[in-house]
A and B are shown apart, each in its own frame.
Chain A
Amino acid sequence: MIEIENLQKRYLRKHVLRGVSFTVEPGLITCLAGLNGAGKSTILKAIMGLVPVDGGSIRIDGRETALHLTGNRGQLNRYRALKVAFIPDRPAMPPSMKVGEALRFMADFYPAIWNEEKARDMLAFFELGEGERLGSLSRGTAAKFNLVLGLALETPYVLMDEPFSGIDLFSREAIADVFSTGWLEGRGVLITTHEIREVEHLIDRVVLLKDGVVAKTFDSEEMRLAENKSIVDIMREVYRP
């Protein structure tokens, strides 16, 4: 389980996160939702150690990993990398790199958890060729390749930052299909997205961010059965009362 507790983050005068607390359960798909600029991306990056926070705790399977508390000492960088895979909204690879080279890069540096077979399966599923330069891929194709780089790592947790943003319809469908394949099986997924409707049926839990804190956390299935409300309904309640 990933436990976020009382996360604080300030950007100059803007107090973006004012004490965010929630959890990411293994085996479930959790959606972090909120308005633009709410700090969703920041939380994901904070979990991944890409951005330092000003306060709070981030525990992954019981071990504290927040930069400001641990100094990232010891094997913490490795612990975090083997536990969590991060899929940012752009492929974080040099544009001059070719698809095949990027895969070799991952294989090289993640020998313990890179699943070459899975990567090739996903490549075929997305119909991606190995010789293409990353810089010349369309946004949709790049997003798909991003998923490959993230999901072929055998980690118990996966973070996805806006996987559908700005992508054409068919690519979006292909990505959404990933959720039904076995590639996410048993993993705890934290996803941020605006396109709730695309994946509403896939999401297990929802965490709603408002004004720097968690406004509401709920199980989407329970909410639908108990109150007959969709996720979008709840969001409307929270954000436009």
Chain B
Amino acid sequence: MKALLKLIHFEVRRFRWFLFGLMAMTALYQMAVTVVYALGERALRMPDPGRDPETIPGPMSVYHLLSRHQETYALPVLVCVVSLLLYAFLIWYRDWLGRGAFIYRLLMLPQPRAYLYLSKLAAMLLFIFSLLSLQLALLLVIEGIFSAIMPAEFRLEARFADLVAGNELIAFLLPVSPKVFLQYYGMGIVLLLAAFTAILLERSRRPAGIVLALAYAAAMLVIPFGVILAGATGLYESLGLYIHEIIWTAVGVWLAGGALAAWLGIRVLNKNVSV
């Protein structure tokens, strides 16, 4: 068990500069953009004898600032998302780089190979959730900047829930309800497990491996999503299933898919993977 934690620490450590880079980029960008926009909004509202009072906008909240600049605030978040998606693959492939690659060392370690799978999974989850926490902290910072720049008479109050709702991408990544969070990140973890297993399939029995990997990936995408999409065709009504039965079946399929992915991935790692 302790070796698992050491492996997790190893994986976190080797990615730390890139992670800090993503965090710094997101923080600096969102803060800078907030300063610029807040100054602009303040200037718009400054009393000016030359302007028609009708055109001066009323007070606004930081929610409005966020919701008016969707793409701007979403951009660094998108960069983080894409980076993590890429690293979901690179976290494995970087070990195979070059001859005499590091994967030799990892496979030879006295610890069960399942630890390799689990440590990379745990590291990815840490990266994802730490970036989410960073975004939450940044929303507080953004509100602080806004309150510092905008005088009280130009400002409206906003709930924290509204701050999160301000940007569509952020609202999607940080749902208000913990049950919805569990649902979507649960699905995401299942997909991550499937990706890991597909990578390991590709890394065994080459060149047939890539065919296997693609076939597995296709199955993992089609079956769980297919169960859901088939509902749209009315298939379930004709089979006489109640809606809650359909939903619970879909949940079951996803859970089974996740368990199968982990089991298969670890099995391939033990038995079939090749340097």
Contact = CB atoms under 8 A, between A and B. Distances in A.
Interface residues of B, number: 28
Contacts of B103: 92
Interface stretch (A26-34, A43-51, A178-186, A222-230): A43-51
Nearest to B266: A72
B113 to A, nearest CB: 6
A82 interface: yes
B104 A86 contact: yes
A88 B104 contact: yes
Contacts of A93: 102, 105
Q: Which of A68, A108, A112 has the most CB of B within 10 A?
A: A108
A185 to B, nearest CB: 23
A22 interface: no
Given A92-B104, A109-B6, A50 B111 contact: no
A52 interface: yes
B19 to A, nearest CB: 15
Nearest to B94: A94
Contacts of B102: 92-94
Nearest to B204: A52
Contacts of A110: 109-110
A145 to B, nearest CB: 12
A212 B32 CA distance: 66
A91 B100 CA distance: 6
Interface string B87-126: 0000000000011111111011111110000000000000
Interface in A44-77: 45, 48-52, 67-68, 71-73, 75, 77
Interface size class of chain A, counting residues whose CB lies under 8 Å from the partner chain:
20 to 34
Q: Which of B3, B105, B267 has the most CB of A within 10 A?
A: B105
Contacts of B204: 52
A109 B104 contact: no
A73 B107 contact: no
Contacts of B275: 45, 50-51
Interface of A: 12, 45, 48-52, 67-68, 71-73, 75, 77-78, 80-82, 86, 88-94, 105, 108-110, 112
Closest 8 CB pairs of A and B: A90-B100, A81-B110, A72-B270, A92-B104, A78-B110, A50-B275, A92-B105, A51-B274
20 contacts: A12-B207, A45-B275, A48-B108, A50-B104, A51-B275, A52-B273, A71-B271, A72-B113, A72-B270, A75-B112, A77-B111, A77-B113, A81-B109, A81-B110, A88-B100, A90-B98, A92-B101, A105-B105, A109-B3, A112-B110
